[in-house]
Amino acid sequence: MSLRYRLLLGALLLNGTLGVLGPSDAEGQFSTSVRVEENFRREPNGLVLARMDPGAAVRVLATEGNWTEVEIEGWVWLRSLQASEDPSMDLVVSESEGENLRSGPSGTILGRLEEGTLLEELSRDPAWARVSRVGWIWTGSLRESTSTPAASDDTVQPTMTTRPATRPPAGVQNLGEVGGPILAAPDGDTLAVAAPASDLEVLRREGNWARVRLEGWMWMPAQFGFGDADETAESLEPEALGPEDFLSDPDAYAGRVVEWTIQFISLERAEAVRTDFFEGEPFLFARFGGDDGPFVYVALPADRLSEVGGLVPLEELSVTGRVRTGSSDLTGAPIIDLISMQRIR
């Protein structure tokens, strides 16, 4: 029995489903495809083995919470492979930049395998190897998700609905029928999955990637340990906090909304060394409260650069922003994300 079918058999036994599978199950009943570009991992939220492209076919083996175990299959150029020292697998990706997984020799690219990814060899062409691998992928990124058990508690869960797509305002992208995962960074971990027809504010673009902002409400009932249900929700009105309030505990006020009077010094672009920013992200370099005040940074969405184009050094501004950090790694200066700005005449 090949490793491929041993793994499939093990997955079925583990999930208690072997007794209900008929002949059609082995013939691809559980096949689906990747809906959006997504990481393929060794285990749920684990090491990334590959980056799968939209439309790539996968075989569904099992589900675990929001994760689905799948098998991927395709062709890889032999020069980018070596024999595996792991007895459970045949080959390993040896190319330092990884290698494409294709639908056939020189065929359509299905995804990109990372260096070190172990693979089972299914067959071989003179210059190509047909391979497979079992791993995990975020369920929301699959075109057809497997069902998950209903909640066992008696609390009525909120129902997620999809509203009809409408024309979004400037700077906002409507996802239409696509939806998709929101990652911490390009090639990073999945933070959430945006439902079809969601409106996302686009802050910045880098090739096919966009940094986005999404605002909404999350179900956090008190009986699940998310605080007192009678507590009043935190106000989004600006708070009377200044940079000096962050000195004792810089992380305590992250996410708070503040309104500051600042003295503009210059418009800057973040270098790679400024790890609290995205590289190239625009920000205002300024002083809080006048000539002798501490330095502060005001991060700007790229589509709002036109609002600061006419500023002159030492000009005073009233800005409302959300605290990103009370103390940046490089200089210790606080960073806020701009919400609104008004010039003081």
Structural domains in the chain? 3-141 (no CATH), 243-343 (2.40.50.140)
For 44, the 3-state DSSP assignment is coil
Higher per-residue confidence, 237 vs 206: 206
Query: What confidence score (pLDDT) does residue 235 get?
Result: 47
Query: What confidence score (pLDDT) does residue 152 get?
Result: 39
Give the model's confidence band at 229: pLDDT under 50 very low, under 70 low, under 90 confident, else very high. Answer: very low
- Alpha helices (H) along the chain: 3-14
User: Which string of b and e fits 205-244 if b means at least 16 CB within 10 Å?
Assistant: eeeeeebbeeeeeeeeeeeeeeeeeeeeeeeeebeebebe
- Per DSSP, the residues of 145-189 read PPP-PPPSSSSPPPPP--PPP--PPTTEEE-TTT-EEEESSTT--
Give the model's confidence band at 93: pLDDT under 50 very low, under 70 low, under 90 confident, else very high. Answer: very high
Give the model's confidence band at 220: pLDDT under 50 very low, under 70 low, under 90 confident, else very high. Answer: low
Query: What confidence score (pLDDT) does residue 65 get?
Result: 83
Give the model's confidence band at 24: pLDDT under 50 very low, under 70 low, under 90 confident, else very high. Answer: very low
Give the model's confidence band at 231: pLDDT under 50 very low, under 70 low, under 90 confident, else very high. Answer: very low
Query: What confidence score (pLDDT) does residue 18 get?
Result: 37
**pLDDT > 90: what percent of the chain?**
34
- Say if CB 33 and CB 55 are below 8 A apart: yes
For 3, the 3-state DSSP assignment is helix
**For the chain, what is the total number of helices (H) and then of strands (E)?**
1, 21
- Per DSSP, the residues of 107-137 read --EEEEEPTT-EEEEEEE-SSEEEEEEEEEE
Query: What confidence score (pLDDT) does residue 181 get?
Result: 80
Rounded to an integer, the average pLDDT of 183-191 is: 72
Beta bridge partners of 260: 319
Query: What confidence score (pLDDT) does residue 157 get?
Result: 39
Higher per-residue confidence, 171 vs 90: 90
The identity of residue 243, as a single letter, is P
- Average predicted confidence (pLDDT) for the chain: 78
pTM above 0.95, yes or no: no
Phi, psi for 262 (deg, rounded to 5): -125, 160
